[in-house]
């Protein structure tokens, strides 16, 4: 079984370009320990490997698609009135993901 270590977590964080502090790395390792403990509990259930997985959480689920109904759309100019900043028909939003070292 693969064990997560501080080095493994740091390597994965670097590959994802997120970088972690020592405290964040410890928090991730603590979470993985909890997840591993939960998986161990599941693996301890006898006969679990013989149970067929469910495709939906409700036994009596019936999958029905409704017919498509064509409806008139709201004009784009009316929608853009709700935006603080836009260019043509594209809404400007603040950058939320980035690499600080770039």
The pLDDT, as a whole number, for residue 98 is 66
The answer to whether residue 31 scores a pLDDT higher than 80 is yes
The DSSP call for residue 91 is E
Give the whole-angstrom CA distance, residue 81 versus residue 98.
29
* pTM across the whole model: 0.47
The pLDDT, as a whole number, for residue 37 is 93
Give the whole-angstrom CA distance, residue 87 versus residue 37.
51
pLDDT in tens, 39-63: 999 999 999 889 888 877 777 777 7
The pLDDT, as a whole number, for residue 52 is 86
Token pair recorded at residue 41: 């509990």
The answer to whether residue 7 scores a pLDDT higher than 60 is yes
Per-residue three-class SS string for 35-87: HHHHHHHHHCCCCHHHCCCCCCCCCCCCCCCCCCCCCCCCCHHHHHCCCCCEE
Give the whole-angstrom CA distance, residue 49 versus residue 47.
5
The pLDDT, as a whole number, for residue 58 is 78
pLDDT in tens, 20-30: 999 999 999 99
């Amino acid at each position: 079984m693969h064990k997560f270590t501080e080095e493994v977590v740091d390597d994965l964080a670097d590959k994802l370009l997120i970088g972690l502090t020592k405290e964040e790395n410890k928090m991730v390792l603590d979470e993985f320990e909890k997840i591993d403990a939960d998986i161990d509990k599941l693996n301890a259930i006898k006969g679990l490997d013989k149970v067929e997985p469910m495709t939906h959480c409700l036994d009596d689920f019936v999958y029905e698609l409704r017919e498509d109904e064509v409806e008139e759309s709201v004009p784009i100019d009316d929608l853009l009135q709700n935006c603080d900043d836009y260019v043509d028909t594209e809404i400007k939003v603040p950058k939320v993901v980035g690499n600080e070292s770039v």
